[in-house]
Structure 1
């Protein structure tokens, strides 16, 4: 490596580590000559290289400044860029976004104030008083029979034939999804995922050594079923991880006819479907959308659900519905987390028995609709006019798309520096196709503080939108 390249690398590392921040002036050519004991031409070559790579900008008669889009997080040139693994990127995002005082527009969880926490606490206490020593054993996999019966009954009310014996209680939806994926795949298998996809799917596939094949999700029309069919025809696909109701992050849903076609295509090619249906109860229409499992005639859909988004965030209670894989999933669970918390299972079962879950859901959905409308109104007021907003029919996410080359990761870094979290597009796809989009959580009441945070995001968006 030539000396000027070494110098350029040193300065690039300083910028990446925030020694020199966005818009700041870096040392002059003369000062760098003295500091690094190199010639004038060596420093000029290093600065010209950094400028060509987009790290610094020359201003006539003023010197060299860190490019505004960098601020320590600029995408490095391809020859030096090493993209972090999804686990590392996700860890960084979750850690910074959950810090105390951060405005949680990037949060994956709804506003806890929307949930009946006092009633849940009472029911948890009531169930705990009735627990015996045998209860701890009785609630090992597949889990509390009472809770499994409650879940099965709700599916039956939808016209979906499910027995409580087909249900395994898990520690949240993520465990349900991960165990299901493990049960039907081996390292090296091809797995279809959506693009953009819930980042938990990318994380699980990376961890299990699986080969992801992305199928596009159109923000207006949902999963591209024609592309889905072509992929299954041309590849030996073992499983498909799909969210066809209020998809995370776009919020899109498929119609019943489209869902039926997806199940048919997968069954035709002997591919299992891992169905993520955690937002199914958060619909805004009169009728609850049916899951893919409703159209499953060959027991090839493993339906995963949770109460984390609709009743009790933080309680970590989810489930898998499958007849064929009930035993393998239980065995995998016993080797990992052993079981979901017995007291929590009994507490939720007690709540479902003695309280009105449906009344709670009606209030929850009404609040989400009100907050969505208020959020979108301010979003349109503060953000650039050329953004594209998809108004979801359920859930609590808004997918916002900017015109390329808007850099959502730079936007996230600048927002978090202001104490505001957003979910940048690069968390949801490995191919860079949605790096110009962000996911926002609208479930929180738009207080004066949060409205001001949204206004500040709008200013940042305007600034990046025109760079």
Structure 2
């Protein structure tokens, strides 16, 4: 982020967590300039940004003050509730497709979309690379892009590993049709049908679909929304269930947006290494960090070739191109063979075009602009959620990526909110699709990777109204049953959590 954005983010966080209260006066521009070592122009720019977000307000000849009623979200940490459950997955694919099928329809406000807006990417520049490649491509060179993939593209990817402090050579990289194929190839290389695989809870629904397809059992372990898996749960799962693989998203996880600290990444790698269990690391969001440097992946701490690192250009450069890769360590031969027999090489023209784009430079400049945009849009979304959602709503503030994970007050039903919001032209991603055991009924994921405008603001306001309405309805139903006001309880349709909360009379 630029200096003014960093200052604005720091002040915004202080307002959010209650350090700065409504009505408090901010330090003067001159004072902030002196204490932070910034120019007065930079401080003014930060204050203007905070004012535009409705967090502070200027008073004539008096300075800047925190707005009365400035939006605040609870900052209590979120913790997953599932604990080491051994799940035989059923209907994970069908129920997820049914929920997400309409998230990207053109008329929808796409808070439920798994992808950011195509408008954020240099598609015109990539098209130029494709055109140049198309003119120069000799059909006889097609053998150059068969697995493990185009040499120059693999070299460019290896250079990015090296620049971030990770030792991965080009010969250790396999080009795939997106990260999804990379992850599935790694899963196939490390497991056999019937095996157990550790997944975090909540987790990316694509992981659950992949496990179901291969006839694998999901071992759910708790995940702290901002810091990753609970190590004690992972240790117990390794002893109790003897899994053959572990699948984790370590940076800006989908759906929570959480960033696992590098110390914990190392601890996870060390723990898995003691049990000789490979880690399938889904790392597609790492380039979307808001801090000064890219977070190290777990792969950086791997000394035995047990971390199978997977990523792609789909989230950071070229959505829709389906260009990904795996650095699968000791499983390189199995993954290369799997790629050869399942889909052959990734499209030649796209491999060469992306390699050309990376060689020409400009990728890091694009990433800096993309990160700034996502950070600003995150602020706007969370501010709108704080203003419009029911009191007690908790939300993650990710340090990168484009997802916010919301936990609504007890009684909210995300599946019903999802169904109702669709009728209003708004999509969301409800919590249960991110759990093998269908937990998180009062949680939902929102995408802030699309341009923020008046329509988006209105959609958040409407979602808040829907959420509040559902909570009130459920509370009324429970109170009514407790008072005996509903004589035909069998006709009342309540969510499972509500039914569990209603005391039952003993039979006989």
User: TM-score if structure 2 supplies the norm length?
Assistant: 0.74
Structure 2 Cα separation of the partners of residues 84 and 320 of structure 1: 28
1:208 aligns with 2:217: no
The Cα of 1:375 is off from its aligned counterpart by 1.1
1:203-282 alignment to 2 at 5 Å?
Answer: 203-282=209-288
1:149 aligns with 2:139: no
Q: Is the 8 A contact 1:386 1:402 kept in 2?
A: yes
1:304 aligns with 2:284: no
The Cα of 1:446 is off from its aligned counterpart by 1.5
Which residue of structure 2 aligns with residue 355 of structure 1? Answer: 361
1:431 aligns with 2:454: no
Q: Deviations over 1:235-287 (max 9, x none)?
A: 21100000111111011111111110000000101111000000000001112
Structure 2 Cα separation of the partners of residues 456 and 439 of structure 1: 16
Structure 1 segments of 4+ aligned residues over 3 angstroms from their partners = none
1:3-22 alignment to 2 at 5 Å?
Answer: none
SS in 2 for 1:398: strand
1:7-406 alignment to 2 at 5 Å?
Answer: 85-406=91-412
Structure 2 Cα separation of the partners of residues 420 and 323 of structure 1: 42
The Cα of 1:117 is off from its aligned counterpart by 0.9
RMSD over aligned Cα, in angstroms? 1.2
Q: Aligned pairs, how many?
A: 385
The Cα of 1:232 is off from its aligned counterpart by 0.8
Structure 2 Cα separation of the partners of residues 84 and 333 of structure 1: 27
SS in 2 for 1:97: coil
SS in 1 for 2:280: strand
SS in 2 for 1:275: strand
Q: Is the 8 A contact 2:100 2:429 kept in 1?
A: no
Structure 2 Cα separation of the partners of residues 276 and 84 of structure 1: 23
Which residue of structure 1 aligns with residue 423 of structure 2? Answer: 417
- Structure 1: tracts of 5 or more residues without a match: 1-82
Structure 1 Cα separation of the partners of residues 391 and 207 of structure 2: 32
Structure 1 Cα separation of the partners of residues 372 and 417 of structure 2: 31
Structure 2 Cα separation of the partners of residues 220 and 328 of structure 1: 34
SS in 2 for 1:399: strand
Q: Is the 8 A contact 1:223 1:244 kept in 2?
A: no
SS in 1 for 2:344: coil
Structure 2 Cα separation of the partners of residues 421 and 445 of structure 1: 15
Q: Is the 8 A contact 1:193 1:212 kept in 2?
A: yes
Structure 1 Cα separation of the partners of residues 447 and 234 of structure 2: 28
The Cα of 1:314 is off from its aligned counterpart by 0.3
SS in 1 for 2:377: helix
Structure 1 Cα separation of the partners of residues 178 and 451 of structure 2: 25
The Cα of 1:323 is off from its aligned counterpart by 3.5
Q: Is the 8 A contact 1:317 1:345 kept in 2?
A: yes
SS in 2 for 1:262: helix
The Cα of 1:84 is off from its aligned counterpart by 6.8
Q: Deviations over 1:58-99 (max 9, x none)?
A: xxxxxxxxxxxxxxxxxxxxxxxxx97111012212322232
Q: Is the 8 A contact 1:104 1:441 kept in 2?
A: yes
The Cα of 1:436 is off from its aligned counterpart by 1.0
Structure 1 Cα separation of the partners of residues 300 and 413 of structure 2: 40
Structure 2 Cα separation of the partners of residues 262 and 340 of structure 1: 32
Structure 1 Cα separation of the partners of residues 182 and 470 of structure 2: 39
The Cα of 1:332 is off from its aligned counterpart by 1.3
- Structure 2: tracts of 5 or more residues without a match: 1-88, 474-508
Which residue of structure 2 aligns with residue 465 of structure 1? Answer: 471
User: TM-score if structure 1 supplies the norm length?
Assistant: 0.81
Structure 1 Cα separation of the partners of residues 166 and 334 of structure 2: 23
Q: Is the 8 A contact 1:283 1:365 kept in 2?
A: yes
Q: Is the 8 A contact 2:203 2:434 kept in 1?
A: yes
Structure 2 Cα separation of the partners of residues 334 and 129 of structure 1: 27
Q: 1:431 to 1:92 in 2, by over 3 A?
A: same
Structure 2 Cα separation of the partners of residues 236 and 84 of structure 1: 21
Structure 1 Cα separation of the partners of residues 340 and 332 of structure 2: 12
